[in-house]
């Protein structure tokens, strides 16, 4: 028998509990995506880059230290993580097809939220523009309203960068006085303003929202506000620790950074193809501008999070900060993305999930106060590191993880093949790692990335071959201990890899060679290392399993 007190307790608390559960089941999502950003951030222990706002977010979040993209170039990566399918399933390795027509009518991450009652918004570069998203950013399937593109983007690659003599060029290095720019602004500033406007418009709405904000930086050209450069005096900077092309690097693995060669200031250097090198003083300036571009993105993140907070949305909004892939800053004598190295595949992945602490706080206390590093370079964020996860995870894991955290059913694992299945995932729900970040160092967790090439030797189109020109696919597997890559014959008509036809291989042992400079693939004398890792045949089997069976069941991440 219940006492009247107990009955009243139940009568009073059940509706509150229900409401609390309901509210928890309807969390908003703010997904910020940087373009070409490797984890050069304070919260990833980068010693140089100033990123106080992202660090502040990280201090209240789960930080995935070992997150990897599935292909290190924009359109294939974005189509992959937004559909939670690998490039072999989206059949997109270049920029030139729309998955719904070319591969399968796959449901996207925002589309899934939209179909579950969310209002979904796209600001800036979320899907890759052009054919890859049917010239519509996949509107109306993925978005409730037409996606926003900032007007000043029109000037992004035009002659707006001032040389020392005052003439205007299409430069790589393009730190500008923003008030002198056409329209008096820059694309990411417009993105931030539009995202804040949208947050204001939905703050009282009944439906939850999914707001994706794709920043254009630190992608080249480095058209950024000039005040961020002074955070990185050239005399304080160093070259990459390994600025030379490694001796045992197979040529098929090298990317010749053709995109930066096309900019006016780089072209004037007469850098030889394919290896260069770029003169050292210019290398330092590229690094300086990249770091400054990261701090500029950090400022946008800070402004947006501060607005989220002011609108009292930080207590019921999941915040994700990620990137599409990395960018080589001179490591291995390489620049840009377009490879299977860590510098190109390793990405930041930070996930903030509101909890009781963020719901109950003192009046006026902010979760995300804006930190203005451009005005005061001493303003670091020193407030702790958040929950660090060492397990190796992949961007295809985002879709099931975000769905679950927001209160939706995560999609089921894909069968193989899955071209006919609209809604499924080739990733894993990482929610387990939020509750148990300490149960990491899971040596069984792998990330798979791949990169296509037109030939064994380096050509003008080695960075980004069109589908019809692909002859070789580099399949790469990364664990906490090693990276292993096989470059094999690939048939672009039937989308078939021939694993018996190996053109080259790479094996890097992380404990001895974190920069991936010493390829020991052909070095049978490294028997003890290989025994530690298992035999090469084992890893080949693991790759085969991935390619033919999409790795079903061979990954043992914690799955809810």
CB of 119 to ligand NAG, least distance (A): 17
Residues 6+ apart with CB under 8 A from 169: 159, 161, 163, 264, 265
Catalytic residue among 31, 128, 169, 219: 128
Site for ligand NAG in 519-548 (CB under 6 A): none
Instruction: Choose the binding region for ligand NAG from 154-162, 176-184, 434-442, 464-472 (rule: CB under 6 A).
Output: 176-184
CA–CA distance from 131 to each of 43, 104, 462, 518 (Å)? 36, 15, 21, 39
CA–CA distance from 331 to each of 156, 243, 462, 516, 522 (Å)? 27, 5, 18, 9, 22
**Residue selected from 270, 272, 375, 382 as contacting ligand NAG according to rule CB under 6 A:** 270
CB of 98 to ligand NAG, least distance (A): 7
Alpha helix (H) ranges present in 505-549? Answer: 527-533, 536-549
Longest dimension (CA), the chain: 89
- For residue 180, state whether it binds ligand NAG (rule: CB under 6 A): yes
- For residue 439, state whether it binds ligand NAG (rule: CB under 6 A): no
Binding-site size for ligand NAG (CB under 6 A) equals 20
Residue 161 known to be catalytic: no
**Residue selected from 236, 457, 511, 556 as contacting ligand NAG according to rule CB under 6 A:** 236
Torsional sign, CA 257, 262, 267, 272: positive
Number of Cβ within 10 Å of residue 471's Cβ equals 16
Residues 6+ apart with CB under 8 A from 345: 68, 69, 72, 325, 326, 339, 447, 449, 476, 478
CB of 347 to ligand NAG, least distance (A): 25
CB of 502 to ligand NAG, least distance (A): 9
- For residue 231, state whether it binds ligand NAG (rule: CB under 6 A): yes
Structure tokens at 191: 């993105």
Residues 6+ apart with CB under 8 A from 325: 36, 69, 71, 72, 73, 74, 77, 337, 344, 345, 347
CB of 421 to ligand NAG, least distance (A): 12
Instruction: Choose the binding region for ligand NAG from 149-157, 217-225, 229-237, 543-551 (rule: CB under 6 A).
Output: 229-237
- For residue 116, state whether it binds ligand NAG (rule: CB under 6 A): no
Whether residue 339 contacts residue 476, with contact meaning beta carbons closer than 8 Å, is answered with no
Site for ligand NAG in 460-519 (CB under 6 A): 498, 500-501
Residue 457 CB-density burial (10 A; 0-12 exposed, 13-18 middle, 19+ buried) = exposed
CB of 235 to ligand NAG, least distance (A): 7
CB of 377 to ligand NAG, least distance (A): 5
CA–CA distance from 11 to each of 6, 22, 151, 275, 311 (Å)? 9, 17, 55, 74, 32
- For residue 107, state whether it binds ligand NAG (rule: CB under 6 A): yes
CB of 136 to ligand NAG, least distance (A): 6
Coil/strand/helix, residue 70: coil
CB of 146 to ligand NAG, least distance (A): 12
Instruction: Choose the binding region for ligand NAG from 172-180, 346-354, 408-416, 461-469 (rule: CB under 6 A).
Output: 172-180
Instruction: Choose the binding region for ligand NAG from 116-124, 133-141, 152-160, 285-293 (rule: CB under 6 A).
Output: 133-141
Structure tokens at 74: 């924009």
**Residue selected from 179, 362, 382, 528 as contacting ligand NAG according to rule CB under 6 A:** 179
Whether residue 63 contacts residue 385, with contact meaning beta carbons closer than 8 Å, is answered with yes
Beta carbon nearer to ligand NAG, 269 or 441: 269
Beta carbon nearer to ligand NAG, 180 or 512: 180
- For residue 269, state whether it binds ligand NAG (rule: CB under 6 A): yes
Residues 6+ apart with CB under 8 A from 490: 452, 470, 471, 472, 473, 496, 497, 498
Catalytic residue among 22, 31, 43, 74: 74
Do the strands 387-394 and 62-68 form a parallel or antiparallel pair, or are they unpaired? parallel
Site for ligand NAG in 138-167 (CB under 6 A): 141
- For residue 100, state whether it binds ligand NAG (rule: CB under 6 A): yes
**Residue selected from 185, 377, 540, 545 as contacting ligand NAG according to rule CB under 6 A:** 377
N residues, the chain: 560
Whether residue 56 contacts residue 380, with contact meaning beta carbons closer than 8 Å, is answered with no
Site for ligand NAG in 26-85 (CB under 6 A): none
Residue 128 known to be catalytic: yes
Instruction: Choose the binding region for ligand NAG from 16-24, 30-38, 175-183, 543-551 (rule: CB under 6 A).
Output: 175-183
CA–CA distance from 465 to each of 91, 94, 333, 468 (Å)? 14, 7, 21, 8
- For residue 233, state whether it binds ligand NAG (rule: CB under 6 A): yes
Binding mask 402-431 for ligand NAG (x = CB under 6 A): --------------------x---------
Catalytic positions are 74, 128
Residues that bind ligand NAG (CB under 6 A): 100-101, 105, 107, 134, 136, 141, 177, 179-180, 231, 233, 236, 269-270, 377, 422, 498, 500-501
């Amino acid at each position: 028998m219940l006492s009247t007190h107990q009955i009243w307790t139940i009568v009073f608390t059940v509706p509150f509990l229900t409401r609390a559960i309901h509210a928890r089941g309807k969390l908003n999502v703010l997904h910020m995506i940087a373009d070409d950003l490797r984890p050069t951030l304070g919260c990833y222990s980068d010693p140089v880059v100033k990123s106080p706002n992202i660090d502040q977010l990280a201090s209240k979040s789960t930080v995935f230290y070992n997150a990897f993209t599935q292909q290190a170039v924009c359109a294939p990566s974005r189509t992959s993580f937004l559909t939670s399918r690998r490039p072999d399933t989206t059949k997109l390795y270049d920029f030139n097809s729309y998955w719904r027509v070319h591969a399968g009518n796959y449901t996207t991450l925002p589309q899934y939220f939209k179909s579950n009652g969310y209002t979904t918004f796209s600001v800036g570069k979320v899907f890759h523009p052009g054919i890859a998203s049917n010239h519509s950013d996949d509107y109306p399937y993925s978005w409730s309203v037409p996606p926003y593109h900032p007007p000043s983007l029109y000037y992004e690659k035009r002659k707006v960068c001032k040389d020392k003599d005052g003439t205007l060029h299409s430069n790589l290095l393009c730190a500008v006085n923003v008030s002198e720019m056409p329209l008096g602004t820059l694309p990411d500033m417009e993105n931030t303003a539009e995202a804040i406007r949208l947050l204001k418009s939905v703050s009282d709405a009944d439906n939850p929202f999914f707001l994706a904000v794709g920043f254009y930086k630190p992608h080249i050209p480095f058209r950024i506000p000039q005040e961020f450069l002074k955070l990185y005096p050239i005399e304080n900077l160093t070259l990459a620790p390994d600025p030379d092309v490694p001796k045992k690097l197979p040529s098929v693995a090298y990317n010749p950074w053709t995109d930066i060669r096309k900019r006016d200031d780089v072209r004037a250097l007469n850098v030889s193809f394919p290896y260069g090198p770029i003169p050292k003083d210019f290398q330092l300036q590229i690094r300086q501008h990249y770091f400054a571009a990261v701090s500029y993105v950090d400022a946008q993140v800070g402004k947006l999070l501060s607005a989220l907070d002011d609108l009292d949305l930080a207590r019921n909004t999941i915040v994700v900060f990620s990137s599409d892939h990395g960018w080589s800053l001179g490591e291995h004598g390489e620049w840009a993305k377009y490879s299977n190295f860590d510098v190109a595949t390793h990405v930041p992945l930070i996930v903030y999930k509101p909890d009781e602490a963020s719901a109950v706080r003192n009046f006026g206390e902010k979760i995300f106060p804006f930190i203005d590093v451009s005005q005061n370079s001493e303003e670091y964020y020193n407030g702790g590191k958040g929950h660090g996860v060492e397990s190796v995870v992949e961007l295809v894991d985002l879709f099931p993880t975000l769905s679950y955290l927001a209160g939706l059913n995560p999609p089921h694992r894909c069968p193989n093949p899955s071209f006919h299945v609209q809604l499924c995932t080739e990733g894993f729900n990482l929610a387990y790692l939020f509750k148990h970040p300490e149960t990491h160092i899971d040596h069984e967790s792998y990330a798979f990335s791949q990169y296509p090439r037109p030939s064994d030797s380096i050509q003008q189109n080695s960075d980004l071959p069109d589908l019809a020109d692909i002859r070789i696919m580099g399949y790469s597997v990364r664990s906490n201990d090693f990276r292993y890559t096989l470059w094999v014959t690939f048939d672009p008509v039937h989308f078939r890899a021939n694993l018996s036809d190996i053109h080259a291989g790479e094996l890097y042992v992380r404990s001895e060679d974190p920069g991936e400079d010493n390829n020991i693939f052909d070095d049978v004398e490294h028997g003890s290392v290989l025994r530690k890792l298992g035999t090469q045949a084992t890893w080949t089997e693991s790759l085969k399993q991935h390619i033919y069976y999409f790795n079903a069941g061979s990954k043992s991440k914690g799955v809810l």
